Structure 1
Amino acid sequence: MRSHDETSDGNGHMTIRIGFVGCRGTDSFDLGESLRPLIPVGCDLVLMTIPEALEMVEAGCLTLVIVALDSGCWRDSVTMMTDLHAVGQRCGAVVFGLVPRDDPAALVRAFDLGVADVAAMPICTHEVRARLAARVRRRMVAAARAAEMRAAWRLAVIDPLTGLFNRQHLETILPAAIDSARAGDRPLAVLMVDLDSLKPFNDRWGHAAGDRMLRNVADALTANLRASDTVARLGGDEMAVVMPDTDIETARRIAARLVTVVAALKLGKDNVAITISVGMTTLVEATDDAETLLLRADTALYHAKQNGRNRVAEAA
């Protein structure tokens, strides 16, 4: 996901937003304007006051903040650099300092406060241009690496057809959920979900329509569960749901709601419908592990199928 400080111009070109703030507030804007020709291509410079800068960094709207200690009494304003650096560390922005050339104490103080880089004032255009370009390049490289890592992670744990997690991720998340539930003495529920009569549906309407229906069901399940719940496709038309902090009564209500929601789905101009069956279980025994929970939920799913489908069955 792209952060707020990175926008696209519609042609795939990324724009990085850079903020400028000076010790003298709006009176520093002339200095900020003089920096505009030195900003790297693909970057947008925004002049702002200290409160505005803090708000935008907090909101994730800035990649880099240029802070100018452009007052003779800069020591009285150095807190702004401290505050911006602290917020930037939390929100992914970095601080670039402009310090008086004839005051070594300002340079030392800036680095003490954790700025990423500094340049001296009066500014040397070549120095500032080069330092800002280097800082932006680092940001671009970091963003590219992060995108590659996200893509690799998705390939490893996401089912490409439905967008749900895959079996491999379930095999990681379910044991962790069991351990967490036991450690906090909290409930845990597991559902096994299977589409009813998908093969006849595919035979009549085609596998492409079946894939669309499967995606629609996956979306409906996700939309009606919490962000803390995990929905994974096990293969074919079978899915598992892991629900932390969910007792048996709550699990019953949720499972019944999922059956109702899916039964209301329609596909295409013919309003074709499909239903699901759900098997459910909860963590009850000290010896329960991931394999045991999934087996119990799967057995309950079998009973739901045997008893007419489009319903919920609980593990004995």
Structure 2
Amino acid sequence: MDGADLPSLRVSGSINGRQTLGGCERVSVGEPPRLSWIWVRNDFMTVRIGFVGCLPDSPLGESVRPLIPPDCSYEILSITQATTLVSNGELTVLIVAVDSPQWREGLRMLLELHAVGVNRPLAVFGLVPRDDPAALVTAFDMRVADVAGLPLDPHEVRARLAALVRRRQVAFARAADTRKAWKIAVTDPVTGLYNRQHLDTILPATIDSARITRQPLALMMLDVDGLKPYNDRWGHGAGDILLRSLAETLQAHVRIGDTVARYGGDEIVIIMPECDAETARTLSARLVDLVADMRVARPDGSRAGVTVSVGLAMLLPDGDAAEALLTRADMALYAAKRSGRNQVAVAA
């Protein structure tokens, strides 16, 4: 991919009289004069480049330093340091120099680093002997992103590294866009909770997991008491504010691993894996009390109290599909409503 393929590049100024693209300097790589690249300033990720050589005191580390693209951090690492950073996902690009006569040992090291970082967003840039085609082929077999030859050609290394970093930036940006699109797809726009579609996906999977692990599973369904007359009096905008405040309170006080989703209207579902009946009752009662302590701003500047009724259902050991579990929680919810609201009822 060259600079023309990148999105939203525009002329926006100059640096010391040199034209920039979107605040990004166009940098010449030197001879031949026509060879140049566009370095894209990193606005969405920190580019951290590490170097590790087969030889403990490899001189190549310092030779590569002036060839690193601007705005990237660079550090020369031991194999132990490199392994730690790769396993923690802290490196964007790792330069591996196969600068030992026993280059196969260096490539074995490369394979081990890839195994450590198999689920991490790492690109490996190899420096391999030019006079040994087998080293080049083996390096690509071990999934390097790109290579340059040894001895170093500074122009080649500089250009290839810049292109590799640019590709990583674009990949990170696309991944961020994908995560953003996924979040929009599964989020209720009013409350910021998961939506019904995501609930319909995650609840069956959580039930299956509970059965496999033989762990208890509780499901709480709660409903705002008196939301319809509140909306009639203050408007649906005020009702949305109330629901958002409720959602924030619930999210702040559920356990790590619990899932909170808007089921529909003013009903909210909380999935509580690995939660036995006694714990579920305690948590449900605590949430009812916390909500009763809330005060929500109304359009006239006054603050309104709010209460919820809760229906609690435990996953039955011999059955219960997602819909059946939801139905039992819903029936318990209406039992709580009929009994006076602002309380918890447990499904049989």
> TM-score scaled by structure 1?
0.83
- Return closer, same or farther for 1:292/1:90 CA change in 2, 3 Å cut-off: closer
Q: Which has the higher helix share?
A: 1
Contact 2:206 2:273 in 1 (8 A): yes
Q: Tell me, yes or no, if structure 1 residue 46 matches structure 2 residue 75.
A: yes
- Return closer, same or farther for 1:104/1:288 CA change in 2, 3 Å cut-off: closer
| Partner residue in 2 for 1:315 | 347
| Partner residue in 2 for 1:244 | 273
Q: Specify which of 134, 151, 157 is matched with residue 163 of structure 2.
A: 134
For 1:15, give the aligned amino acid.
T
- Return closer, same or farther for 1:195/1:81 CA change in 2, 3 Å cut-off: same
Q: Specify which of 277, 284, 289 is matched with residue 309 of structure 2.
A: 277
How far apart are the structure 2 equivalents of 1:249 and 1:227?
18
How far apart are the structure 1 equivalents of 2:213 and 2:87?
33
Contact 2:129 2:150 in 1 (8 A): yes
Q: Tell me, yes or no, if structure 1 residue 95 matches structure 2 residue 124.
A: yes
How far apart are the structure 2 equivalents of 1:141 and 1:279?
47
Q: What SS class does the counterpart of residue 118 from structure 2 fall into?
A: helix
Contact 1:88 1:94 in 2 (8 A): no
For structure 1, the 5+ residue unaligned runs are 1-9
How far apart are the structure 2 equivalents of 1:267 and 1:42?
47
Runs of 4+ in 1 over 6 A off after TM superposition: none
Q: Specify which of 265, 277, 293 is matched with residue 325 of structure 2.
A: 293
Cα-Cα RMSD: 2.9
Contact 2:44 2:173 in 1 (8 A): no
For 1:244, give the aligned amino acid.
P
Contact 2:127 2:147 in 1 (8 A): yes
- Return closer, same or farther for 1:63/1:290 CA change in 2, 3 Å cut-off: same
Q: What SS class does the counterpart of residue 90 from structure 1 fall into?
A: coil
Q: Specify which of 280, 283, 293 is matched with residue 254 of structure 1.
A: 283
Compute the displacement of 1:120 (Å): 0.7
For 1:20, give the aligned amino acid.
F
Contact 2:45 2:169 in 1 (8 A): no
Compute the displacement of 1:298 (Å): 1.4
| Partner residue in 2 for 1:6 | none
How far apart are the structure 2 equivalents of 1:315 and 1:49?
60
For 2:47, give the aligned amino acid.
I
Q: What SS class does the counterpart of residue 109 from structure 2 fall into?
A: helix
How far apart are the structure 1 equivalents of 2:42 and 2:172?
18
Further displaced range: 53-62 or 33-42: 33-42
